[in-house]
Amino acid sequence: MSPLQRIAFIGNSLPRRCGIATFTTDLQQAIASSDTDLETAIVAMNDHGHAYDYPPSVRCQIGDDRLEDYAGAADFLNDGRFDVVSLQHEFGIFGGEAGGHIMALLSRLKMPVVTTLHTVLSEPTPVQRDVMEQIVDASTRIVVMAEKGRELLRTVYRLPADKIEVIPHGIPDFAFLAPDDAKARLGFSGRSVILTFGLLSPNKGIEVMIDAMPAILRRRSDAVYVILGATHPNLVREQGESYRAGLMRRVRELGVEDHVVFLDQFVDQATLLGFISMCDVYVTPYLNEAQMTSGTLAYSFGLGKAVVSTPYWHAQELLADGRGILVPFGDAIAIGDEIAGLLTDVERRQAMRLRAYASSRSMTWERTAKRYLGAFETARRGRALSVIAGPAVAMPSPQISAPPEMRTGHLLSMCDDTGLFQHAVHSVPDRAHGYCVDDNARALLLACALNSTGEQHLADALTARFASFVQHAWNPDMRRFRNFMSFDRRWLEDAGSEDSHGRTLWALGECARSDVSPSRRQWAAALFAQALPIVESFTSPRAWGFTLLGLDAYCAVAGAPPTAIWLRTLLADRLLRLMSAVETPNWVWFEDGLSYDNARLPQALIATGASMKVPGYLEAGLRSLRWLADLQTTPAGLFRPVGSDSFGEKRRAPRSFDQQPLEATATISACLAAWRADGDPQWRTEAARAFAWFHGHNDISAPLVDLETGACRDGLHPDRANENRGGESVVSYLLSLAEIRQQARISGDRPKLAPLRALHA
């Protein structure tokens, strides 16, 4: 598919005075600036017969109450062969009941639509719900600017999680500056400045802030409250300037005329940034919780301002964790107390500023444009697929015909004479977090995987180091493995988690089967036998699954002793009972929620069922893995692992982020185990899809792997890859690469024997 060439934006546009107009224009300019070969155009909405002196970027106009204009705009877009249309939706900017006229345009379009919802109503009227559902149905992707929007779309409108993307409101990339120079330019030198910006209307809560001024002045007599913004045009049409006059009258009644300044202006971006830059505290005293996004809040936050706000939805998310201060709605006493506290505590105010500025760097318009371009590409791929094969069919990721070379440079840099470090800061090993048996057991698994034909073995001294760490982790008094060790080689607990114990057993079982050293194979088998019995008392399903994978390897070389066979059956039956108790037609799983290393559970049943020739284990493993694979495939055919943000949520479609290499690795292993078990080539496709995730075939088109060193980034955030490259991540990638390379060396599309069919013969 060729790159995007033409993108159109539908919405209000500057110089029309409103937040949607500002957003549409900013987004169009950011997209246009991201690629000089892209052609962009705006289809601008005109209100109530008004006309505006638009710039050349506005190529088409729609009168909000003229249905023929909507149809004409659709013809313009279709005839112009635009690749994608970006619709900015807000109740009130389109004509018809609940803005229903927009469907006269959307229903005629021949290209995918990506709709940004600036408002998501929690309690829509029947007509609003109907129009919203029509818009959503006509859209290939839906963008919201806050997690609350995603939650409402899922719960109120029953929208599939795969169709929703959260992209924060964009902000200018503005330097972190002290306010003094801007104060001098704008005539506020020597004053403590509080600022509110935006179109004036009663829902903004300005009167509450005015009522707070006397209390603020008692503690900070130089304070001034600057109210920057014209009155909302719709309010002017209905009531004239009576609202502004009422605010000014309230100022006089309180005797704070010298400390409240009204600037009746709709300013351009450069002027606005100057005003925000000069303020000491930015305040948004809105009265309505159901405010999904606020451009003025985003801009002030992005300039690193100390923000005091009421807890509307956008503010709750943006200002959490000390990035700002939330006060109750309509509470002049609380808002006055918090603002006065910030104005009198420079150190606290500066710390809040720094937190806000640092947190906002992922929201710059450059970053936001990249996120939108990713959404546009996903929408176009999904639309092309639906035309060819229908909407329910997923486009497979590219097959890996020539897997990359195995590079272990970063793995080696992450090891010292103790073992593998847990974490890294970028690519530099982080000694502060020491080591864990989890990661060293994974590294031992990798050493075993590299013993296969066609791979370069790890140095024997390094493999011995991983084995030595595992041996030292064994606590014979408790019959358990310790997990965490500090850099100074002190164990931080007497026994690690059940999961870390099970994973270590898995590594020992594999070492007993495939290590190149006969002596180390004997060591691994002996320690496996010592550490195995206690698993009977474990309650963690993943510990059971890891142990089953270890037992699969151990029994292949130990002659399947009766105790091992008994425990294999016990643990596999436990997984089956869990699945039987939880499974529904729409939730084919072992637990009420999804967590980490998910695919290891079906893999354990598949491996156990194939080895022990028990059809029930095998069929349950394949069934649950097929459900998980479908869940982890986006409409555009990309692998999307269960995000850590959704861990612990019950029976809900998983959140998209944060995505971690561990999940891709588990999925690859499980799918290749399924392929070996039943011979279906689709499993190889699923494994290739998950492996392609490492190389940039993912939600944000960001490669995680450095092919020269074998380093792997720690995961994907909604807006970027995590630049840290820790032990778990590098081992996860190299394990997957080893499996994919081994699979590529196997000729043919299927193994010679399909055990599932053989079991039923």
pLDDT in tens, 95-104: 999 999 999 8
Torsion of CA 295, 375, 366, 132, to 10 degrees: -10
Q: Please say whether the dihedral angle defined by the alpha carbons of residues 235, 237, 243 and 245, taken in this order, is positive or negative.
A: positive
C-alpha torsion angle, residues 733, 734, 740, 744 (rounded to 10):
150
Average of pLDDT values for 489-493? 96
Phi, psi of 415 (to 5 degrees): -115, 145
Which residue, 30, 18, 25, is CA-closest to 43?
Answer: 25
Question: Alpha-carbon distance 546 to 527, whole Å?
Answer: 16
Q: Are 723 and 702 in contact (CB under 8 A)?
A: no
pLDDT for residue 182: 96
Helices (H), 303-364: 313-318, 332-343, 346-359
Q: What percent of the chain clears pLDDT 90, i.e. is strictly above it? A: 77
d(CA 225, CA 250): 14
Helices (H), 91-203: 103-106, 126-138, 147-155, 180-186
Backbone angles phi, psi at 250, to 5 degrees: -65, -35
DSSP letter assigned to residue 337: H
The predicted model gives 639-666 an average pLDDT of 86
- Kindly report the pTM of this predicted structure: 0.53
| 506: three-class secondary structure by DSSP | helix
Asked if the model's pLDDT at residue 641 lies above 60, the reply is: yes
For residue range 158-178, what is the model confidence (pLDDT) as tens digits?
898 889 999 999 999 999 999
> What pLDDT does residue 210 have?
97
pLDDT in tens, 325-344: 999 999 999 999 999 999 99
Number of Cβ atoms within 10 Å of the Cβ of 501: 29
Rounded Cα gap, residues 69 and 75, in angstroms: 10
Residue 153 pLDDT greater than 70, yes or no? yes
Residue 256, pLDDT above cutoff 80: yes
In angstroms, the Cα distances linking 25 to 20, 141, 294, 317, 441 are 8, 20, 16, 25, 53
Residue 525 Cα to chain centre, angstroms = 42
pLDDT for 721 beyond 80: yes
For residue range 77-112, list pLDDT tens digits in order: 999 999 999 999 998 899 999 999 999 899 899 999
Structural domains of the chain in order of their starting residue, each with its CATH number: 6-166 (3.40.50.2000), 180-363 (3.40.50.2000), 435-444+452-467+477-556 (no CATH), 583-761 (1.50.10.20)
- Surface-to-core class of residue 270, CB atoms within 10 Å of its CB (0-12 exposed, 13-18 middle, 19+ buried): exposed
% the chain with pLDDT above 70: 95
Structure confidence by residue, pLDDT tens digits, 547-579: 999 999 999 998 878 989 999 999 999 999 999
Predicted local distance difference test score (pLDDT) of residue 383 = 58
Q: Indicate the DSSP class of residue 650.
A: B
Average pLDDT of the residues in 301-310: 96
Please state the rounded mean pLDDT for residues 401-421: 92
Rounded to an integer, the average pLDDT of 120-125 is 92
pLDDT band at 730 (very low <50, low <70, confident <90, very high): very high
Q: What is the mean pLDDT of residues 734-747?
A: 87
Residue 747 clears pLDDT 60, i.e. is over it: no
Quote the pLDDT of residue 754: 33
Q: Which of 327, 318, 325, 93 is nearest to 209 (CA)?
A: 327
Q: How large is the average pLDDT for residues 445-464? A: 93
Instruction: Name 559's Cβ contacts closer than 8 Å, sequence gap at least 6.
Output: none
How far is the C-alpha of 416 from the C-alpha of 525, rounded, in Å?
A: 26
pLDDT at residue 476 greater than cutoff 70: yes
CA nearest to 703, candidates 686, 689, 720? 720
Q: Which residue has the higher pLDDT, 384 or 280?
A: 280
**In contact, 440 and 470? CB cutoff 8 Å:** yes
Strand 39-46 to strand 6-11: parallel, antiparallel, or no bridges (unpaired)?
parallel
Please compute, for residue 288, the number of CA atoms within 13 A of its CA located in the half-sphere on the CB side: 12
Does pLDDT of 219 surpass 80?
yes
Among 464, 423, 416, which residue's Cα sits nearest to residue 444?
464
Reply yes or no on whether the pLDDT at 708 is more than 60: yes
Q: What is the mean pLDDT of the chain?
A: 91
Tell me the mean pLDDT in the region 683-687: 93
CA dihedral in degrees (690, 692, 695, 698; nearest 10)? -70
CA distance 295 to 311: 15
* Interacting residues of 488 by C-beta distance below 8 A, sequence separation 6+: none
- Per-residue pLDDT, averaged over 291-301, amounts to 89
Per-residue pLDDT tens over the stretch 280-291? 999 999 998 888
Closest by CA to 603, choosing from 666, 665, 664, is: 666
Nearest C-alpha neighbor of 162 from the set 347, 485, 391: 391
**Residue whose C-alpha is closest to residue 118's, from 86, 94, 147, 149:** 149
Closest CA to 571 of 605, 614, 594: 605
- Kindly indicate the confidence band of residue 265, based on its pLDDT and cuts at 50, 70 and 90: confident
Q: Among 169, 168, 177, which Cα is nearest to 303's?
A: 177
* CA-to-CA separations, 210 to 193, 246, 247, 253, 330, in angstroms, rounded: 14, 11, 8, 11, 11
Q: Comparing 64-73, 611-620, 692-701, which segment has the lowest mean pLDDT?
A: 692-701
Asked whether the predicted pLDDT for residue 300 surpasses 90, the reply is: yes
Other C-beta atoms closer than 10 Å to the C-beta of 73 total 25
Q: Are 608 and 548 in contact (CB under 8 A)?
A: yes
The SS3 assignment for 310 reads: coil
Nearest-5° Cα angle at 732, 514 to 160: 130
Whether the predicted pLDDT of 753 surpasses 50: no
Specify whether the CB–CB gap between 578 and 591 falls below 8 A: yes
Q: 657 falls in which pLDDT band (50, 70, 90)?
A: confident
Check residue 397 and give its pLDDT.
40
Residue 749 — very low, low, confident or very high, per pLDDT cuts 50/70/90? Answer: very low
Output the pLDDT for position 652. 75
3-state DSSP call for residue 430? strand
Report CA 223 to chain centroid distance, whole Å.
Answer: 41
Q: Are 208 and 285 in contact (CB under 8 A)?
A: yes
